[in-house]
């Protein structure tokens, strides 16, 4: 039975918390459920990459040509072979209990890559490469989270057509909900081309004291098509702090204190229940897969080990300062 464990995190609207939720979902899945999580950063702004590692390490990987963009340029534009494992960074995240989050980082050159894909009409080739990439990582990781940029680029379209599920964070306000509507109409355009299944809409940054925001949440939940999650994520400053990578590691509870940690854990339980209730999804009902280092072939090249060492040095430097 095919494994269904790839999730595109998407809303055509920016600033609704897509990248922040990818980070918090990955860390909660790793710490509280022992899952091996691969985060694929598909945004030219590299937000989630910079939430998961130091900026200097990210620059290093970008300079060394070890990002998603370099992989896609080789495979899609140059028709070269390229070993995906070289592009997977291990031991990312600043949470001390996390040792099972992996990252394929991004680079701002992604925009140029997409322009070339359109100019050379390589959309079909791009989609094949994305399909093969997801087929490869499905077997190795428990959960794959793809952080999409706002808007609907050619690359985002490929993820949305090849991933198993899409998850749409939104704010409980008019403009963000309009972003969902654009997305829904896009999904209906070419159904024959395939599309991810809706796992659900997540209300983020909810002002728990606001009756208007609660009305939006109820309205989203009342429309069954949205499959809106019961658990919303409150607007709490701690989540902004969580987004800033700290070279000195912190505990999960320090990063997600009080209500925000409770909400994230409840959200992840709901997330895993939804995945488990899918007919062919094996991910939530089975024990976590062995760490990819132990699986056949090793994920994360030596270059990344060096990056890890540097990260530790950075941590030491900062804590000494």
Ligand X SMILES: Nc1ncnc2c1ncn2[C@@H]1O[C@H](COP(=O)(O)OP(=O)(O)O)[C@@H](O)[C@H]1O
Query: How many residues in the shown chain lie near Mg ion by CB under 5 A?
Result: 3
Does 264 engage in binding with ligand X (CB under 6 A)?
Answer: no
Q: Is 195 helix (H, G, I), strand (E, B) or coil?
A: coil
CA distance 202 to 54: 28
Query: How many residues in the shown chain lie near ligand X by CB under 6 A?
Result: 16
Binding mask 224-263 for ligand X (x = CB under 6 A): ---------x-xx--xx--x--------------------
Rounded to 10°, the helix 110-119/123-138 angle is 130
Binding mask 162-201 for ligand X (x = CB under 6 A): ----------------------------------------
Helix (H) or strand (E) holding 18: helix 18-33
- C-beta of 43 vs 142, nearer to ligand X: 43
- C-beta of 48 vs 289, nearer to ligand X: 48
Strands 165-171 and 143-147 turn out to be unpaired
* 164 within 8 A of 1, measured Cβ to Cβ: no
Which of residues 93, 204, 231, 301 is near ligand X by CB under 6 A? 204
* 220 within 8 A of 203, measured Cβ to Cβ: yes
* 23 within 8 A of 52, measured Cβ to Cβ: yes
- C-beta of 168 vs 281, nearer to ligand X: 168
- C-beta of 16 vs 68, nearer to ligand X: 16
> CB 14 → ligand X: shortest distance, Å?
4
Question: 180 is in the binding site of which of Mg ion, ligand X, none (Cβ under 5 to 8 A by kind)?
Answer: none
Q: Which of residues 251-280 bind Mg ion (CB under 5 A)?
A: none
> CB 249 → ligand X: shortest distance, Å?
20
> CB 147 → Mg ion: shortest distance, Å?
6
Chain CA centroid to CA 212, Å: 29
> CB 235 → ligand X: shortest distance, Å?
4
> CB 238 → ligand X: shortest distance, Å?
8
Q: Which residue pairs, CB below 8 angstroms and at least 24 apart, start in 139-142?
A: 139/3, 140/36, 140/38, 140/289, 140/292, 140/295, 140/299, 141/5, 141/36, 141/37, 141/38, 141/102, 141/289, 141/292, 142/5, 142/29, 142/35, 142/36, 142/37, 142/283, 142/288, 142/289
Binding mask 45-64 for Mg ion (x = CB under 5 A): --x-----------------
Rounded to 10°, the helix 211-222/174-189 angle is 20
Q: Which of residues 8-47 bind ligand X (CB under 6 A)?
A: 14-20, 47
Q: Give phi and psi for 99, each to the nearest 5.
A: -140, 20
Q: Which of residues 2-41 bind Mg ion (CB under 5 A)?
A: 18-19
- The encoded tokens of residue 82 equal 């390229």
- C-beta of 12 vs 301, nearer to Mg ion: 12
> CB 49 → ligand X: shortest distance, Å?
12
Kindly tell me the sign of the dihedral angle through the C-alpha atoms of 155, 156, 158, 164. positive
Q: List all residues 6 or more positions away from 180 whose beta carbon is below 8 Å from its beta carbon.
A: 11, 12, 13, 168, 170, 201, 226
> CB 105 → Mg ion: shortest distance, Å?
14
- Note the residues at the interface with ligand X (CB under 6 A): 14-20, 47, 204-205, 233, 235-236, 239-240, 243
- Note the residues at the interface with Mg ion (CB under 5 A): 18-19, 47
């Amino acid at each position: 039975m095919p494994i269904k464990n790839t999730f595109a995190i998407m809303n055509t609207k920016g600033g609704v918390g897509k990248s922040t939720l990818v980070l918090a979902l990955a860390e909660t899945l790793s710490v509280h459920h022992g899952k091996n999580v691969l985060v694929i950063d598909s945004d030219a702004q590299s937000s989630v990459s910079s939430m998961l590692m130091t900026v200097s390490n990210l620059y290093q990987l970008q300079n060394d040509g070890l990002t998603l963009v370099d992989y896609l340029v080789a495979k899609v534009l140059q028709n070269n072979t390229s070993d995906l494992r070289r592009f997977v960074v291990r031991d990312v995240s600043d949470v001390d209990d996390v040792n099972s989050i992996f990252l394929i980082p991004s680079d701002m050159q992604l925009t140029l890559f997409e322009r070339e894909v359109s100019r050379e009409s390589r959309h079909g080739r791009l989609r094949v490469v994305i399909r093969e990439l997801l087929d490869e990582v499905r077997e190795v990781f428990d959960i794959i989270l793809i952080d999409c940029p706002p808007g609907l680029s050619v690359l985002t379209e490929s993820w949305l057509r090849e991933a198993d599920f899409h998850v749409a964070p939104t704010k409980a306000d008019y403009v963000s909900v309009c972003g969902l509507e654009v997305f829904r109409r896009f999904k209906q355009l070419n159904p024959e081309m395939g599309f991810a299944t809706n796992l659900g809409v997540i209300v983020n940054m909810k002002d728990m004291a606001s009756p208007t925001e609660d009305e939006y949440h109820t309205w989203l939940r009342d429309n069954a098509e949205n499959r809106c999650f019961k658990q919303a994520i409150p607007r709490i400053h701690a989540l902004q702090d969580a987004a800033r990578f700290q070279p000195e590691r912190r505990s999960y509870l320090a990063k997600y204190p009080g209500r925000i940690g409770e909400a994230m854990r409840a959200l992840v339980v709901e997330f895993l229940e939804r995945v488990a209730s899918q007919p062919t999804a094996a991910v939530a009902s089975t024990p976590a897969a062995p760490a990819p280092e132990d699986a056949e072939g090793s994920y994360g090249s030596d270059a990344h080990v060096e990056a890890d060492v540097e990260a530790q040095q950075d941590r030491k430097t900062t804590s000494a300062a």
